Amino acid sequence: MKIATFNINGIKARAEALLAWLDAAQPDVALLQEIKSVDESFPVELFADRGFNVETHGQKGFNGVAVLSKLPLEDVVRGLPGDDGDEQARWIEATVVGKTAVRLCGLYLPNGNPAPGPKYDYKLAWMARMATRAKSLLETEMPVVLGGDYNIIPQSEDAASPETWVDDALFRPESRAAFRRIVNLGYTEAFRAREPRPGHYSFWDYQAGAWQRNNGIRIDHFLLSPQAADLMTDVQIDKKVRAGVKPSDHVPVWVALDA
């Protein structure tokens, strides 16, 4: 089972690029972030024509997450538990059924800038809620995959120029500590489990020639429960997608499970 995460930065702007990548990469499941579309406006037919089941949790103009799956999806849940007043569309769950049933969570974690401030407080509160949900998912003892745009640079090795991110919400000590608390519940950070070396990124800003200078950061991650980690056979970053026509500022990351 090949599961990908991809912040597409707008389905309307990126539909052709997304379809080209789907055709080339052939994931079984794609977790999308920043669809920037209400559910009713999401172009479901483009993906249904390619054999994907589609579930969305959208929001007009901002945020929004989706799951595309060539395998059946069950028990779809929209929204991160713990705050009934949170209207931001950043979390979607579903069980995908291959050889093994896997619980998938697609997430778009808040950016949090400027920090400190209300947006940063929201980021940390959201991460605390995520930790609570991540702990409860572990208690199911099924393979669980938490994939998406975390807006977290976990370590200095995950930024080409870490010194420029010191005061940013993505790299502040409180953000990284909140990320570690989730990992330390018992999750495996898939990419780092396979590739300990620096120089691997999933985001390059559109400004200041970041892509051309490879001035990137790694903020798109998969966290795997022990049952999912035992099934992992590969994990990769599709860096070349950033050089395509009208690219997102993110590239796909994918993990393969024997499931």
What are the helix (H) ranges across 26-117? 44-48
Helix (H, G, I), strand (E, B) or coil at 145: strand
Give the residue among 124, 208, 112, 114 at the shortest CA–CA distance from 160: 208
CA distance 44 to 237: 26
- Which tokens hold the place of 45? 């037919």
Give the residue among 164, 169, 244, 235 at the shortest CA–CA distance from 211: 244
CA distance 115 to 92: 26
CA distance 154 to 133: 20
Which residues form the catalytic set?
108, 149
| Termini Cα distance of the chain | 6
Order of strands across the sheet that contains 2-7: 53-57, 65-69, 29-33, 2-7, 253-257, 232-237
CA distance 254 to 224: 12
